[in-house]
Amino acid sequence: MNTLMKTSFASILAAGSLALPAVAADDTIKVGVLHSLSGTMAISETTLKDTMLMLIDEQNAKGGVLGKQLEAVVVDPASDWPLFAEKARELLSVENVDVIFGSWTSVSRKSALPVLEELNGLMFYPVQYEGEESSKNVFYTGAAPNQQAIPATDYFLDELGVEKFALLGTDYVYPRTTNNILASYLESKGIAESDIFVNYTPFGHSDWSKIVADVVALGADGKKVGVISTINGDANIGFYKELAAAGVSADDIPVVAFSVGEEELSGLDTSNLVGHLAAWNYFQSAESDLNDEFVAKWKARMGEERVFNDPMEAHVIGFNMWVQAVEKAGTADVDAVRTAMYGLEVPNLTGGTAVMLPNHHLAKPVLIGEIQADGQFDIISQTAEVPGDAWTDFLPESSILMSDWKDLGCGMYNTETKTCVQTLSNY
């Protein structure tokens, strides 16, 4: 630096007009955090933001990535689905983030997806979802239907002897598509269409008295009734309270939930919910040294009352894989990181290994947990790692499709015509 440049820089410092942000930006890797911190989904998503900030702080304490510090850029799409697209665009084109970790509902993911593909952004999506999608710009670290919905249904059929099913969901794409898959699956298992009751309610729904009464009435013929719940957000509070008020126990009508974990239960009196179930790929009660260590760090940072759950573990896995991929590629460039992701392995918190597959899904174990009085889950069933399947075998239009971004460069490969499909009616 010559004398004139030194003098100019010193004068800027003295004047208080410091140009360090631009310099710092060159020395940081920006990580976008796209989670609702207000609105109906804040009950589930705020803790995912907290998880990302913890992971970023820990990585920075280790020296960052490629010698650069990570910089979190947090936005609040406020449970407003179109706003996810706007906030994704802001992160990618204004903040220039290198990666995004975010979304919970499928409608929020699908809102952001066109922006990710247009601007070639990369997002890690940490929540169970309905499948029927495969984008080169998204890594799906939550469960596909074959890693949650199908195994949970098998448990109801094989272990609990359920004969009639109430499929209760929030009215958006994830519950509707998942329930279409499950209805087809149940019919293939010999369950009559008349023994499958389907009901959808809006986000934030609070009056559950009639719906619970309708579910109870299903068992009037003496057949065993079970509820498969894809209810999302704070509507779960009213649903479980109404079950308790109606005197419905898990012995009477078991409920298995796909969107209720430790965080959602932390705001409820769970004494009347003991025995009801949830299906995830992780529970805080998992017994492993790594899980004990991680939960202890989480509580030390956030407070003893704060719990850890499945989507949070998915962010841990996704973040650690992204760090590995950046280091392997030697750059945070999206295309290079994507290529470096395939086949990466990181420990999961249940004692196994998460593997990133060419279809942008993970191999994950399937766990079924029983609600305990303290709001934790007793793990009553656990499988080995199951490879996630982007396209279900139980819908005819997708049963012939496969995703392989590594070798085929295609998210919708038709195995019959040997061609890459460009569109699908519900994609």
Tell me the per-residue pLDDT of 359-404, one tens digit each, with 9 for 90 and over: 999 999 999 999 999 999 999 999 999 999 999 999 999 999 999 9
Q: What is the mean pLDDT of residues 224-249?
A: 92
The predicted structure's pLDDT at residue 390: 97
Fold topology of 147-280: Rossmann fold (3.40.50)
CATH 3.40.50.2300 fits 23-143+287-365, yes or no: yes
Q: What is the mean pLDDT of residues 298-323?
A: 97
Q: Is the per-residue pLDDT at 24 higher than 50?
A: no
d(CA 248, CA 228): 15
pLDDT digit string, tens, across residues 138-151: 999 999 999 999 99
The predicted structure's pLDDT at residue 268: 76
| pLDDT: which is higher, 5 or 176 | 176
Residue 260 neighbours by CB distance under 10 Å: 27
The predicted structure's pLDDT at residue 123: 98
The predicted structure's pLDDT at residue 269: 81
pLDDT range class, residue 325, cuts 50, 70, 90: very high
User: To the nearest whole number, what is the mean pLDDT of the chain?
Assistant: 92
d(CA 44, CA 309): 10
The predicted structure's pLDDT at residue 424: 52
The predicted structure's pLDDT at residue 299: 97
The predicted structure's pLDDT at residue 271: 84
The answer to which of 56-60, 196-200, 216-220, 235-239 has the lowest mean pLDDT is 235-239
Q: What is the mean pLDDT of residues 286-304?
A: 97
Q: Is the per-residue pLDDT at 8 higher than 60?
A: no
Residue 423 neighbours by CB distance under 10 Å: 6
| pLDDT: which is higher, 17 or 269 | 269
Q: Do domains 23-143+287-365 and 147-280 have the same CATH topology?
A: yes
Q: What is the mean pLDDT of residues 224-238?
A: 93
The predicted structure's pLDDT at residue 393: 95
d(CA 204, CA 235): 5
Q: Is the per-residue pLDDT at 13 higher than 70?
A: no
pLDDT digit string, tens, across residues 34-81: 999 999 999 899 999 999 999 999 999 999 999 999 999 999 999 999
The predicted structure's pLDDT at residue 186: 98
Residue spans per domain, the chain: 23-143+287-365, 147-280
Q: What is the pTM of this model?
A: 0.88
Q: What is the mean pLDDT of residues 191-205?
A: 96
d(CA 212, CA 202): 16
Does the CA dihedral 60-122-43-282 come out positive or negative? negative
59 within 8 A of 65, measured Cβ to Cβ: yes
Q: Is the per-residue pLDDT at 26 higher than 80?
A: no
CA distances from residue 185 to 152, 153, 200, 202 in whole angstroms, order as listed: 12, 9, 19, 25
277 exposed, middle or buried (CB, 10 Å; 0-12, 13-18, 19+)?
buried
The predicted structure's pLDDT at residue 423: 60
295 exposed, middle or buried (CB, 10 Å; 0-12, 13-18, 19+)?
middle
- The C-alpha angle with vertex 42 and arms to 75 and 386, in degrees rounded to 5, equals 95
